[in-house]
A = this chain, B = another copy of it.
Amino acid sequence: MNNVVNYSGKRKPTGQRSAISHNSVIQPHDYLFRMGEKLDGIYMLNSGSVKLFRTTESGEEYITGFCASGDLIGLDALVDGVSRTSAVALDTSNISMIPFNTIVRGGDRFDYQKFIHQIGATLNRENDHTMMLSQRTADRRLAWFLIEYADGLASRGLCPTEFSLPMTRTDIAIFLGLAVETVCRELATLCDEGIVKKNRRRIEILDMARLRSISRGEVCADKLAKEIRSAA
């Protein structure tokens, strides 16, 4: 499992620490901030993608979310200014910061309404993630993940059926609470059934309707595979 040291060891010196004042660009593997760090405000992702995660003392990594353009990062620091989460860029990303002062006092042209709205959205996404992790089969989890990602793209006006995932299979596995091998296998199953096409990180969704019904638990992804087995 990757840990903080790994990443920090191999990244370029760019963006070493969060000296972000207003607008800045960070490179893949650069940290926006690390868990336990005091933040100066909330970050807003303008482009690229960021992974949010925590590591326990014993080195277990937990991924709490993947962020894309428009998302707020560091909301959990609202409690006392310190984030319990680390944020690392997966792609080259453009980021701006909203200082805590602005948030608390309601600064110049800070869109408060929108900020509150985003908090609700974040909370809802967390809830969805939680629901997915409770008592669900691997095929549903993966289907859910792909749909979430596709929907996110669609809401940003991008193509929801053909895209490139910014994260590794291991990241997906951790996020979904599964083993890497399980993610690979389930993805392979979806391909076998003609629901998606994959080429490494590149994903093409061929049958969105079926993918959604798998996600809802109406049908099982391994249905075909099982039918073949039982026929034998």
Give A contacts to B, CB under 8 Å. Answer: 54, 56-58, 60, 62-64, 75-80, 84-85, 103-104, 106, 112-113, 116-117, 119-124, 126-127, 129-131, 133-135, 174-178, 216-218
* Chain B hits for A64, CB < 8 A: 127, 130-131
A127-B127 CB under 8 A given contacts A117-B79, A121-B79, A216-B58? no
Q: What are 12 A-to-B residue pairs whose CB atoms are below 8 Å?
A: A54-B127, A56-B216, A58-B216, A63-B134, A64-B127, A64-B131, A76-B127, A78-B123, A79-B121, A106-B106, A126-B130, A133-B133
Give the copy number.
2
B119/A75 in contact, CB under 8 A: yes
A78/B177 in contact, CB under 8 A: no
A62-B130 CB under 8 A given contacts A78-B119, A80-B117, A123-B75? yes
Closest residue to A122 on the B side, CB-wise? B123
Dominant SS among interface residues on chain A = helix
B135/A177 in contact, CB under 8 A: yes
* Chain B hits for A218, CB < 8 A: 58
* Chain B hits for A123, CB < 8 A: 75-76, 78-79, 122-123, 126
* Chain B hits for A113, CB < 8 A: 104
* Chain B hits for A103, CB < 8 A: 116
